[in-house]
Amino acid sequence: MKEHNVPLKMLLFIILGFIGFLIIISLIWRLCSRRYTLPCPTWLRFFVELDNPFTKVNRAATIVQYLDLTQGMKVLDVGCGPGRLTIPVAHKVGNNGEVVAMDMQQGMLDCVQEKVKKAGLTNVTLLHAKIGDQQLEHNVFDRVLLVTVLGEIPNQQAALKEIFYALKTGGILSVTEIIFDPHFQRQGTVLKAAHAVGFREKNVFGNSIAYTMHLEKQV
């Protein structure tokens, strides 16, 4: 029995060590992201593509459903990554609408472009830029998406201010956060930053550790 217990103990130590390693890396990443822009690298895009199996809120179909999109709307997907939300949103707004896929990594935008071509879409525009650098036009978007992206932005005030001015009056900023993300932002943190630039809370879906919050531009 002792001989069998040794491998089991070693396996347990390995698993616990790996979990501890991931926790340490997540903490370091989170601390560094407060000073530096640290988006998910392109080579890890397959992680971004996956719908988290432990929460419904972060699933692409759920986020899109909450947006209440109609034909002809113009939507901005900030930190679009490989286009997990870009493509289904483009289908929803139709040929008369438009989706601007914005990312600071050209590799991610290349992935989006491949998906756009494969889907035969003509209503997606790629924007290679960093939110907060004042690259957006004012009063043009009906919806803006920030899906597990806000925590990756060191200057959140500049980013939210640019989004606020880019939205039309009555437009909605949709912020999705889940605790499994190393950049997770609490609801109170998001609300405080959003209120400071003029947003008002409209809806919250989910719970304190996995949620989508809709913030409305009212002027």
Q: Answer for the pair 59, 50: CB distance below 8 angstroms, yes or no.
A: no
Amino acid found at 83:
G
- pLDDT score for 57: 82
| Whole-prediction pTM | 0.80
pLDDT score for 182: 84
Instruction: Please report the pLDDT score of residue 206 as a whole number.
Output: 94
Which of 22, 25, 37, 32 is CA-nearest to residue 150? 37
- β-sheet bridge partners, residue 74: 98
Residue 45 falls in which region: left (phi positive, over 0), alpha (psi -120 to 50) or beta: alpha
Question: What's the first-to-final CA gap in the chain, in angstroms?
Answer: 72
pLDDT at 55: 75
Q: Provide the 3-class DSSP secondary structure of residue 198.
A: coil
pLDDT tens across the length of the chain (219 residues): 445 565 766 777 677 665 665 555 555 555 555 555 556 666 565 556 666 667 778 899 999 999 999 999 999 999 999 999 999 999 999 999 999 999 999 999 999 999 999 999 999 999 999 999 999 999 999 999 999 999 989 899 999 999 999 999 999 999 999 998 888 999 999 999 999 999 999 999 999 999 999 999 987
Q: pLDDT at position 15, please?
A: 74
